[in-house]
Structure 1
Amino acid sequence: MNNKFHTYCKYLLASGLVSTIISCSNTRFLKEGQMLYTGAEVKIANDTISKQEKKDLQSALEDNLRPKPNSTFLGLRPKLYFYNIAKEPKKDKGFNYWLKYKVGEKPVLLGDVDREFNKDIIENYSENKGYFNAKATYDTVSKNKRAKVIYTVRPGARYLIDGVKFQKDSTLVNQEIQNLTGKTLLKNGKPFDLDVIKTERERIDNGLKERGFYYFHPDNIIVQADSTVNKNHKVELNVKLKDNTPDLATQQFSIDNVIVFPNYNIQDVKDGKYSIPMNKDSLSKYAFDDIYVIDPQHKFKPKIFDRALYFKKGDLYNRSNHNLTLNRLISLGVFKFVKNEFVTSDSLHHKFDTYYLLTPRQIQSLRLEALGRTNSANYGGGELNLNWTHRNFFRGAEQFKAAIYGAFDFQMGGPKDANNIFRAGTNVQLSIPRIVAPFRFNSSSAFVPRTNITLGYEFQNRTQYYTLNNFTGSFGYVWKENIRKEHELKVIDITLVSPAKVTKLYDSISANNAAMQRVVQEQLIFGPTYSYTYTNTMLPRKNTFYYKGTLDLAGNITGLVTGANAKKGKEKEIFGIPFSQYAKIENDLRFYHKFTEKTSLATRLIAGIAYPYGNSEYIPFSKQFFSGGSNSIRAFRARTLGPGSFDPRTLPEGGFFDQSGDIKLELNAEYRANLYKFLNVAAFVDAGNIWLINSDKDRPGAAFSKDFLNEIAVGAGVGLRLDFSILILRLDLAMPLRVPYYEKGDRWTFDKINFGDPSWRKDNLILNIAIGYPF
């Protein structure tokens, strides 16, 4: 204990010494008369406004002050230190240039601060927030070649809105403005706020754009403020059209003709303008709502544009349909560029033609992918994929994808007859940009709903053990309500697993293990699956969420109709194969909190359960849950953790058997920080396990019980992430902190950690190499 205390004191003393050296050394580089600027502070001198108003005003004012001082880390300025110690480079490259101008940061001096300019910013911002009589002063405090500026603001009382008038006249545009006043953002009793006024002008503009006023602009509206009517710090607002508003902005436009160029070449743009044929008499017209399509080679069926275009002849222009059409054309996936032009066709009656200039993507593509990999189960290998994509398979923007692949994994450093794995297969998918069903499906979403049909086959050979044939097929739909909400319904999802060969070695190993025997049994799984995804992670917010819930129902109706009951010996078959019957639900919830632009916290909770009944006593192996590995609990090798407190060390030596379960609970937390451009670091903690619904005599401790919290595994570690934009290479080094199959009372491993012991490092440090973030 004394040794640890002395060591701690040494580290503390050393870190304090380093902090002092770096802190002092930054000022010794300053020239005579120079002072390092350490920042600004704003003080609010007002007793009439609330503490919250003071806090908000102070924070906003400090954010607006310029320049910002040199960045700090734990009270130090390491970037400034690197700038100071690096020699001035002779060229714009090399180590000195990188250290001084890429890693380092130029000193911000007091002489760089325009205090009068900042004073004006403070007064103007305060007035824009309703403090009309705000006055500011400043003072400079300096010591030891460091200086800070203190600004004192006397904002006075804040003016409140006392009456909002929308000036009336007889014009059509004014009548429409009057119809929008019910949802005004300008409310009596609310503080005067210039930002709210700007937002109100944009709200009115958006409303008018929905009513045909294509050429209107928020700047056409003026909001006059009068503070002289009421002397009790109140202000009256008058909203009106500017006198110099262009006549075109006050006119309501409708759609005349809709013209589509589905083979437009972006290179036809000359002098910033598109070359558009204006002679509609020469255009080939088709019979869908008077839409013209210029497609001499008939590459596209006209029907796809009828589904995607929301403007029809005679419609009043509105921005929603404008944006909706563009988004749906893009989401078809067959066009690389989508451009929209409006050209006046009848100025007297305020009509214009709508042109859609669509540049197709490459219709067909062939891609060959080769990759090597290792995993945390001491396996290495590679994979080869050949993918062919056709983006307009039946001339209706149908996407057809076909792939063939081969992969192998071998035990690194294993015995000569190691249990290696070989996989080869093919899969095809046809994605149709509409709902193919006997009922009509209407969607006003910006995303085109799709019908997906998939077929696949995989040959899997685990040498020395068994060979399996896997057949898959599905038919279903994918549709998005909006950018945040997505639904996927597979009306039928079929999996057929058929063993081709099982070796005598595997038979002997699995003779007394029912779970291993089920791996090579024939399996027929069919039924609907549904998943719902909600995410707002694409929004620029400090806190964002991701949720995906999946429901998998297999053999339910068939089991009910046939009266299947495996527990009572009434197991039913289809084509001589027992079908699976179960209900499975899985939830994946993620929360992201951004501390700064370069630091964040990511957390994830996974909770799932699969319950067999009717024609099944067990969940099929391929549909069970697994734990461990690079995207799960990283301190344990892939698929080796659990179930429950089962000890995998009791398995036959040299064998590799995936551990599976019917219940899964997992929690992950990861702190992420950017060090330099593409280099990111992370510190993480993972916890969780899997369990079985029913007891298994071959795997004692595997069943879920009220003691499940004592069977939670915990791991922690650190990681490097190399973000190269096109891919993220991730290296995570983890170690177990709690092992559920150790004896009770001895499952925490803090007292066993010994980084100096090679044997301990080999058994406990797990390196995960992966592509992308774990969650």
Structure 2
Amino acid sequence: MYFWINFRYQLRNAFAKIALIIIIGIIYSACNSVKRVPEGKSLLVDNNITVDGEKDKNGTVSELLYQKPNSSILGYRFRLNLYNLARKNPDSSYKAKFLNNPKKYARQVKLYSAKQVARKGQSFWYLGIHNFLKKIGEAPVIIDETKVKKSVGRVKAYYFNNGYFNAAGSYKIDTLAGKKGKVTYTFTKGAVSKLDSIRTQINTPALDSLYMESKAQSFLKKGENFKTENFDAERNRLNTYFRNRGAFYFQQANITFNLDTVGTTHKTNVEMVISDQNIRTGDTTYQRPFKLYKISKVNIITDNSNEADKSKINDSVAFNGFNLYSYKKLKYRPKAITDAVFITPGSLYSDLRTNLTVRYLGNLKIFNYPLVQYRVDEKDENSLIANIILTPRPKYSFGASLDFTHSNIQDFGIAATTSLAIRNVFNGAETLEIAARGNIGSSKDLANPNNTFFNISEYGLDTKLNFPRVLLPFNTENIIPKKMLPSTALSFGFAKQQNIGLDKENFTGSMTYNWTPKRNHNARFDLFNVQYVNNLNINNYFEVYRSSFTALNDLAKEYNADPSYFVDNTVPADERKLSIPTGTTGFTTDVTESGFGPQPGSADFKTIKSIEERRKRLTENNLILASSYSFSKTTKSSLSDNNFYIFRTKIESAGNVLSLFATATKTIDNQLSKKKVFGIEYSQYIKTEFEYIRHWDFTREKVLAVRGFFGIAIPYGNSTSVPFSRSYFAGGSNDIRAWQPYSLGPGRSGAVNDFNEANLKLTTSAEMRFKILNNFKGALFVDAGNIWNVFDDGPYEAEGGNFEGIASLKDMAVGSGFGLRYDLSFFVVRIDMGFKTYNPADTSGKKWFRDYNFANSVLNIGINYPF
């Protein structure tokens, strides 16, 4: 048996070595980067660019060139070498193999058939793999002088568009050894032309007046550098400005610029011409001044659909100047619809009002994409009639989903959700959403006395009622106007967990207001957010928090606790275990109340007291009634924008309302230090958070992303600590990726608990993202941060867990690593490998790179980017 095992081990090692030799050989053969470069040609390895005698540092010119060297990862041309691995003509190579060896072909035909032999040449291993390598690889960039000349012309055009009318450029191709070469580009920009006189010729008097009103916002200013983009920006500005002030038929094509540089050395005279409206009648075309149209009527069709009989209107109502029509019975309160319409009778036509109307009506979530049409009023040729056509969504819609999950708690889980949406519940465009969810899972880390596979379960019910307005007893139009798209959401939920830690019932409720103060700004105010957590199985605490149990059990044996506290007294003393919960409770009571064991004030006494205090805190029922305000801002303009920042902040206060209620009623037991409402101690704290994310686009799909986060929750009044659900933890796929969730901190304490949390958190991350091939992306990252305890109910049970000012920042953990991502357009699948770079909890004296190895690395799998 030993021989057989040893033989298998040696054979496996031999195969591994052989495979490694083969892989190295393949890579070495592919590393001949000029393998596919024809004779007399050169592989482009570098573009050397100088502008006015200086090297091009910002890369602007480099991006304009038609030919760039093959992409590389840390200097290694990975995609080029993949391409070189492929055979140039695999189909011809397969045929040549048999043409040169007829006997081999005859043997193949005897074993198979002529058709099968021919089909074999089209298989993946003979043809497909080479096409695949070519597809994901990158063909060698061979210097093409025609493209080099075109590159010079493109760069000169770029400088010309930026006011350097006399820009010149030249190139030189240098041939290097080994069929390689480089191109040296030399450019001189010359003097830049500046705008001198700026005149206008605007034929329509009404537009001329509008232009004079907005002239100060012009992108064309005397003395500034000539830039083509400024002319485009001015054309866009005026088009938007005019069309938002009644010029319904105005178009950008009506704006032209006449430029005069003749006789001026480095100055440009500009004449902006805004022509009249072109009118075509039959074969005749003529011009007339633009009109500024007003809106005379607003007609709203509320139930346009394929099923509707559109031959006649059966129901209609006039409300605040709007006309609402329905092919069937009108199902909406007029105000609910008209509040979403910004096109009002008597106002000037406006693109902005039209877009706001479309956006707001879509935001109601009860209509498909709305259609807005305009036509000239037959009774007043200077007015427009607006027709808004709405197609209702179905009254009811159902949804269901089934997910397979994995988390830090569940090794494997199955989650199912079913939902029902009911639209226009009270005829005011409200939406009611009801969702039922259930989950079963398996965890080897949690207590499982019956040894069942699915030892985790959870089920819950959530309801959410959305109102497309601010739901308050007074008018808020002056504070939050309807153009900010305000909405109100009332939500209630119930969830029950079984066999997850202590087993819990969780009741939640909230009233939330959302609005957008400006474009790309979002604000949220939670008038109240209530949560009641009822622990059902507090006696299971030490079965879940095993590290606390181990520490307590060791001290119980050391101080010879009452034998009745142990499960079995017949085993040796060092193998005894405290019974749960009788033994653990009895031992901590003896120590903290009866003076048994360690002396008060000693390290062991503090440890036992801290374990018991933590048990009480995590097993007590929580009642949280909080109010909060959140604000976020981003400069991201589109999904493809990789040069932006995001700022988020939140402030939350809990317990103040309950404190007033408890004081005003007789629900306080004056003998207790903590106040209760309905027999439950409520939480009181203030919490604030700040997050900043910044992305820099370095072109060619290279992006540097950084994030900073700071959060602190301070208990006061009725609380001496923050509830577990409102505290912070460190580690995980979106945090410090070199540590598992809850396994870092607080501070340098060494994560002595099973689930480590604290009430202060500071983290920062940086990640360099780059393209590997096609949809495969890569990343190199560094994460730093930690959590600490501050302003809580006493010293942390392990040294170094409390925040003690700037000196505690030396306990910031640092993790670094690399990641792979696959971009599926609608989401990104992410794998990150994190390595502990600086571990503040290491007591060996070597905190840097001590655990920097694969054995101590952490693999994170996530969806989308971490920030």
TM-score (normalised: structure 1): 0.83
Q: Find 1:496's aligned residue among 532, 543, 567.
A: 532
SS at match of 1:286: strand
Aligned runs of 1:159-170 on 2, under 5 Å?
159-167=193-201
Q: 1:190 to 1:637 in 2, by over 3 A?
A: closer
Deviation at 1:451, TM superposition (A): 0.7
Aligned runs of 1:684-699 on 2, under 5 Å?
684-692=781-789, 693-694=791-792, 696=794, 699=797
Q: Find 1:318's aligned residue among 342, 347, 350.
A: 350
Q: 1:286 to 1:579 in 2, by over 3 A?
A: same
Cα RMSD (Å) of the superposition?
A: 3.9
Q: Which residue of 2 aligns with 1:578?
A: 681
Deviation at 1:477, TM superposition (A): 0.8
Contact 1:210 1:317 in 2 (8 A): yes
Q: Which residue of 1 aligns with 2:294?
A: 254
Provide the rounded CA distance (Å) in 1 between the counterparts of 2:446 and 2:345: 72
Q: Which residue of 2 aligns with 1:612?
A: 715
Deviation at 1:746, TM superposition (A): 2.8
- 1:365-420 CA deviation, whole Å, 9 max, x = no partner? 32223323333467443322222223433333322221222234433277752895
Deviation at 1:437, TM superposition (A): 0.4
Q: Which residue of 1 aligns with 2:436?
A: 404
* Of 28-37 and 470-479, the range deviating more from structure 2: 28-37
Residue 529 of structure 2 is aligned to residue 522 of structure 1? no
Deviation at 1:554, TM superposition (A): 1.2
Q: 1:111 to 1:691 in 2, by over 3 A?
A: closer
SS at match of 1:350: strand
Q: Which residue of 2 aligns with 1:272?
A: none
Contact 2:247 2:349 in 1 (8 A): yes
Deviation at 1:434, TM superposition (A): 0.5
Q: 1:485 to 1:37 in 2, by over 3 A?
A: same
- 1:509-531 CA deviation, whole Å, 9 max, x = no partner? 46551111222223222131221
- Tell me which structure has the larger Cα radius of gyration: 2
Q: Which residue of 2 aligns with 1:105?
A: 139
Residue 568 of structure 2 is aligned to residue 468 of structure 1? no
Deviation at 1:354, TM superposition (A): 1.9
Q: 1:633 to 1:516 in 2, by over 3 A?
A: farther
Alignment-mate amino acid for residue 462 of structure 1 = N
Q: Which residue of 1 aligns with 2:734?
A: 631
Q: Which residue of 2 aligns with 1:437?
A: 472
* Of 734-743 and 191-200, the range deviating more from structure 2: 734-743
SS at match of 1:335: coil
Q: Which residue of 1 aligns with 2:514?
A: 478
Provide the rounded CA distance (Å) in 1 between the counterparts of 2:313 and 2:499: 67
- 1:84-109 CA deviation, whole Å, 9 max, x = no partner? 44234667983222211332336444
Provide the rounded CA distance (Å) in 1 between the counterparts of 2:203 and 2:865: 59
Residue 834 of structure 2 is aligned to residue 734 of structure 1? yes
Q: Which residue of 2 aligns with 1:4?
A: none
Provide the rounded CA distance (Å) in 2 between the counterparts of 1:718 and 1:37: 29
Q: Which residue of 2 aligns with 1:31?
A: 38
Provide the rounded CA distance (Å) in 2 between the counterparts of 1:619 and 1:35: 67
Provide the rounded CA distance (Å) in 1 between the counterparts of 2:768 and 2:52: 39
- 1:244-295 CA deviation, whole Å, 9 max, x = no partner? 8554672222223323334445x89xxxxxx998x99888343232333335
> Which consecutive unaligned segments of at least 5 residues does structure 1 have?
1-16, 269-274, 652-656, 756-760
Q: Find 1:129's aligned residue among 132, 157, 162.
A: 162
Deviation at 1:27, TM superposition (A): 3.6
Q: Which residue of 1 aligns with 2:388?
A: 356
Q: Which residue of 1 aligns with 2:798?
A: 700
* Of 159-168 and 141-150, the range deviating more from structure 2: 141-150
Contact 1:328 1:448 in 2 (8 A): yes
* Of 90-99 and 230-239, the range deviating more from structure 2: 90-99
Provide the rounded CA distance (Å) in 2 between the counterparts of 1:139 and 1:749: 49
Q: 1:253 to 1:470 in 2, by over 3 A?
A: same
Q: Find 1:453's aligned residue among 483, 490, 501.
A: 490
Q: Find 1:217's aligned residue among 227, 251, 256.
A: 251
- 1:425-474 CA deviation, whole Å, 9 max, x = no partner? 211111111001022122456552111111111222336x6433221111
Q: 1:462 to 1:89 in 2, by over 3 A?
A: same
Contact 1:41 1:62 in 2 (8 A): no
- 1:734-759 CA deviation, whole Å, 9 max, x = no partner? 3434444443x63616345565xxxx
Q: 1:112 to 1:86 in 2, by over 3 A?
A: farther
Contact 1:445 1:482 in 2 (8 A): no
* Of 425-434 and 594-603, the range deviating more from structure 2: 594-603
Contact 2:813 2:840 in 1 (8 A): yes
Aligned runs of 1:12-411 on 2, under 5 Å?
25-36=32-43, 44=51, 63-68=63-68, 70-75=70-75, 77-87=77-87, 88=89, 94-105=128-139, 107-110=141-144, 113=147, 115=149, 117-118=150-151, 120-134=153-167, 136=169, 138-144=171-177, 145-146=179-180, 153=187, 156-167=190-201, 171-228=205-262, 231-242=264-275, 247=287, 250-265=290-305, 284-346=316-378, 349-376=381-408, 379-411=411-443
Alignment-mate amino acid for residue 526 of structure 1 = L
Deviation at 1:213, TM superposition (A): 0.8
> Which consecutive unaligned segments of at least 5 residues does structure 2 have?
1-24, 92-121, 280-286, 541-579, 589-607
TM-score (normalised: structure 2): 0.75
Provide the rounded CA distance (Å) in 1 between the counterparts of 2:236 and 2:438: 56
Q: 1:524 to 1:440 in 2, by over 3 A?
A: same
Q: Which residue of 1 aligns with 2:284?
A: none
- 1:102-154 CA deviation, whole Å, 9 max, x = no partner? 32336444155272x55554554444333344555555444454555555555
SS at match of 1:704: coil
Provide the rounded CA distance (Å) in 1 between the counterparts of 2:796 and 2:267: 80
Q: Find 1:549's aligned residue among 639, 646, 649.
A: 649
Residue 858 of structure 2 is aligned to residue 766 of structure 1? yes
Contact 2:835 2:853 in 1 (8 A): no
Contact 1:566 1:614 in 2 (8 A): no
Aligned runs of 1:415-434 on 2, under 5 Å?
416-417=448-449, 421-434=456-469
Provide the rounded CA distance (Å) in 2 between the counterparts of 1:571 and 1:582: 14
Q: Which residue of 2 aligns with 1:596?
A: 699
* Of 614-623 and 597-606, the range deviating more from structure 2: 597-606
Q: 1:20 to 1:530 in 2, by over 3 A?
A: same
SS at match of 1:659: coil
Q: 1:64 to 1:688 in 2, by over 3 A?
A: closer
- 1:531-554 CA deviation, whole Å, 9 max, x = no partner? 112223445655422222222211
Q: 1:124 to 1:767 in 2, by over 3 A?
A: closer
Deviation at 1:475, TM superposition (A): 1.3
Q: Which residue of 1 aligns with 2:766?
A: 669
SS at match of 2:465: strand
- 1:712-737 CA deviation, whole Å, 9 max, x = no partner? 33333333333334443333333434
Deviation at 1:324, TM superposition (A): 1.4
Q: 1:350 to 1:248 in 2, by over 3 A?
A: farther
SS at match of 1:178: helix
Q: 1:189 to 1:645 in 2, by over 3 A?
A: closer
Q: 1:704 to 1:747 in 2, by over 3 A?
A: farther
* Of 322-331 and 79-88, the range deviating more from structure 2: 79-88
